[in-house]
């Protein structure tokens, strides 16, 4: 890639646009996209130079900040070409990110039918399947025979997003079934489409959330799925490339939220510093205020700590163990929910598993904690004559705290989902902060119960 970049730079400096165009049109789309990333100042030049079909294919895989930066530098003629040639779903995605006044000006550049289509697509909710769908597909009537269908595909298939799947409609445009192209190619030409229907239709609703569409694609191994309205009329299709893009964005957003920050709407290095700080500071303030409760909890048990200072030695051990178990459980449940493996209705099964796993994990750490105190007692008298009580307190506290951390970490994402919030916002730092405070209460409560009248 380095050699290619040097060659491109030489052509740019020499002003040899003919050779530059030839070279760019011979490269893979991904290589041109990489050149745009490495040489952002020439991004608009590359799009202007490419043939329109290749320019569209490069432009549609760029992130929005890069698209916008390039778009502002393009000539009016190239903008008109680009907007008209972009697939409807990619055009809708691009329009949805732009300012309203800019969208109005760009929509004027579209032919009447496509302008009507763009306005229709923009009318759907931002995170709905309607924003992803394209109306470019091949649909046929249930009474057509295979010969007529093949003739129809030859005539209109080149304008379709995909011809892997053919959609069967009734006379009112209601979707009846979808059939893979290979099933049509392998039967006699006089076969009716109604005879090929198997009534195993899987369709998306136009107002479904995009996250649900990701799960449907994942579970059904499809390259495209039809989109219908409330009456079953076929409105468009969603293809796997759009779903993969959305899945990538959802994954990135969830990872950022799990880390305890708001989702970034731009690449990290392109994000202005003050906006980056703003995205992070909110959660940090909330978590900081939450951690203040830890000091409050320790203050409540101040007398017990003063009488048995040895208890304070194990505070970091106790709260970190609870926080770690909670973060583990939270991350596992959020991922399982994202993959469609569990739903809110599975809360009891999840709780039952986490009670058992939390107990086993807690017992394991509790034994290790007790053995650590026992081992140190063999060589030093740091824990005094009541080392057994100290070890038992730490061991039982670890069982309680790890169990509580596992329960809190697993139930919070499900509770947030039930309330209509994003489960990813029950991030690892949030769970850890919650368990820190409650872990101290568990620890000192067990200490008071076991040591009252002896050390306390």
Per-residue pLDDT reduced to its tens digit, 338-362: 777 888 888 999 999 999 999 999 9
> What is the C-alpha separation between 253 and 245, in angstroms, rounded?
12
The DSSP line for 306-370 is: HH-GGGGGGHHHHHHHHHHHHHHHHHHHHHHHHTTS--GGGHHHHHHHHHHHHHHHHHHHHHHHH
Q: Same domain, yes or no, for 358 and 226?
A: no
Taking a C-beta distance cutoff of 8 angstroms, is the pair 226, 177 a contact?
no
DSSP letter, residue 423? G
134 in a domain, yes or no? no
The DSSP line for 209-253 is: BHHHHHHHHHHHT-SEEEEE-TT-BEEEEEEHHHHHHHHHHHHHH
9 in a domain, yes or no? yes
Tell how many helices (H) and how many strands (E) occur in the chain.
21, 6
Q: Same domain, yes or no, for 362 and 228?
A: no
Report the mean per-residue pLDDT for the chain.
81
Q: Same domain, yes or no, for 233 and 176?
A: yes
Q: Same domain, yes or no, for 212 and 314?
A: no
Q: What are phi and psi of 396, to 5 degrees?
A: -65, -35
Q: Say which CATH number the domain at 370 has.
A: 1.10.357.20
Q: Same domain, yes or no, for 118 and 143?
A: no
112: which strand partners? none
Residues 382-397 have pLDDT tens digits of 766 778 888 898 899 9
130 in a domain, yes or no? no
Residues 45-65 have pLDDT tens digits of 888 888 888 888 888 888 888
132 in a domain, yes or no? no
> What is the C-alpha separation between 162 and 30, in angstroms, rounded?
21
Q: Same domain, yes or no, for 116 and 179?
A: no
Q: Same domain, yes or no, for 216 and 303?
A: no
40 in a domain, yes or no? yes
Q: Same domain, yes or no, for 34 and 82?
A: yes
Q: Where do runs of H (alpha helix) occur along 29-99?
A: 29-38, 43-49, 52-59, 64-71, 76-85, 88-97
**Which pLDDT score, from 0 to 100, does residue 362 have?**
92
Q: What are phi and psi of 300, to 5 degrees?
A: -65, -35
The stretch 271-300 carries a mean pLDDT of: 72
The mean-pLDDT minimum among 65-74, 208-217, 263-272 falls in 263-272
**Which pLDDT score, from 0 to 100, does residue 261 have?**
65
Residues 318-333 have pLDDT tens digits of 888 888 888 888 888 8
More confident of the two residues 266 and 228: 228
Q: What are phi and psi of 184, to 5 degrees?
A: -75, -40
**Which pLDDT score, from 0 to 100, does residue 71 have?**
85
**Which pLDDT score, from 0 to 100, does residue 399 have?**
93
The dihedral of CA 230, 232, 233, 235: what is its sign? positive
Residues 223-251 have pLDDT tens digits of 888 988 888 888 888 888 888 878 777 77
User: Radius of gyration of the chain from Cα atoms?
Assistant: 30
pLDDT category at 112 given cuts 50, 70, 90 is: low
Give the SS3 label for residue 167: strand
pLDDT category at 403 given cuts 50, 70, 90 is: very high
**Which pLDDT score, from 0 to 100, does residue 348 have?**
92
Final residue of a structural domain among 98, 125, 152: 125
**Which pLDDT score, from 0 to 100, does residue 454 have?**
72
**Which pLDDT score, from 0 to 100, does residue 307 have?**
65
Q: Same domain, yes or no, for 105 and 145?
A: no
pLDDT category at 416 given cuts 50, 70, 90 is: confident
The mean-pLDDT minimum among 64-68, 136-140, 145-149, 267-271 falls in 267-271
**Which pLDDT score, from 0 to 100, does residue 262 have?**
65
**Which pLDDT score, from 0 to 100, does residue 111 have?**
78
Domain containing 168: what range?
Answer: 139-239
DSSP letter, residue 168? E
């Amino acid at each position: 890639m380095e050699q290619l970049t040097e060659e491109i730079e030489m052509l740019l400096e020499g002003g040899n646009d003919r050779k530059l165009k030839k070279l760019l049109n011979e490269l893979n789309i991904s290589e041109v996209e990489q050149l745009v990333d490495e040489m952002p100042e020439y991004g608009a030049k590359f799009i202007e130079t490419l043939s329109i079909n290749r320019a569209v294919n490069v432009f549609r895989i760029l992130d929005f900040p890069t698209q916008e930066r390039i778009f502002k530098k393009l000539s009016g003629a190239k903008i008109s070409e680009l907007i008209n040639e972009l697939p409807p779903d990619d055009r809708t995605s691009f329009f949805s990110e732009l300012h309203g006044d800019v969208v109005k000006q760009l929509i004027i550049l579209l032919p009447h039918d496509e302008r009507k289509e763009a306005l229709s697509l923009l009318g759907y909710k931002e995170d709905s399947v309607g924003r992803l769908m394209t109306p470019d597909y091949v649909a046929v009537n249930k009474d057509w025979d295979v010969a007529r269908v093949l003739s129809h595909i030859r005539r209109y298939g080149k304008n379709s997003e995909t011809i892997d799947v053919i959609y069967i409609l009734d006379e009112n445009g209601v979707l009846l079934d979808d059939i893979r192209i290979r099933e049509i190619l392998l039967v006699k030409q006089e076969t009716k489409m109604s005879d090929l229907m198997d009534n195993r239709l899987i369709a998306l609703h136009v107002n479904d959330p995009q996250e649900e569409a990701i799960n449907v694609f994942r579970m059904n191994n499809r390259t495209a799925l039809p989109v219908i309205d409330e009456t079953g009329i076929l409105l468009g299709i969603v293809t796997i490339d759009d779903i993969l893009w959305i899945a990538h964005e959802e994954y990135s957003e969830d990872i950022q939220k799990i880390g305890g920050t708001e989702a970034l709407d731009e690449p990290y290095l392109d994000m202005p510093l003050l906006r980056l700080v703003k995205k992070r500071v909110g959660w940090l303030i909330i978590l900081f205020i939450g951690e203040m409760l830890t000091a409050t909890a320790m203050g409540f048990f101040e007398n017990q700590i003063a009488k048995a200072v040895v208890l304070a030695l194990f505070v970091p051990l106790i709260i970190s163990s609870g926080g770690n178990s909670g973060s583990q459980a939270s991350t596992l449940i959020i991922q399982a929910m994202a993959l469609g493996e569990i739903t809110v209705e599975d809360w009891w099964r999840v709780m039952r598993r986490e009670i058992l796993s939390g107990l086993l994990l807690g017992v394991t750490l509790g034994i290790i904690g007790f053995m650590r105190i026992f081992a140190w007692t063999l060589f030093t008298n740091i824990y005094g004559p009541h080392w057994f009580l100290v070890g038992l307190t730490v061991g039982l506290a670890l069982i309680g705290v790890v169990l509580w951390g596992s329960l809190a970490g697993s139930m919070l994402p499900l509770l947030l989902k039930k309330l209509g919030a994003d489960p990813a916002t029950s991030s690892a730092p949030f769970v850890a902060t919650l368990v820190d405070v409650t872990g101290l209460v568990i620890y000192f409560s067990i200490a008071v119960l076991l040591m009252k009248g002896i050390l306390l």
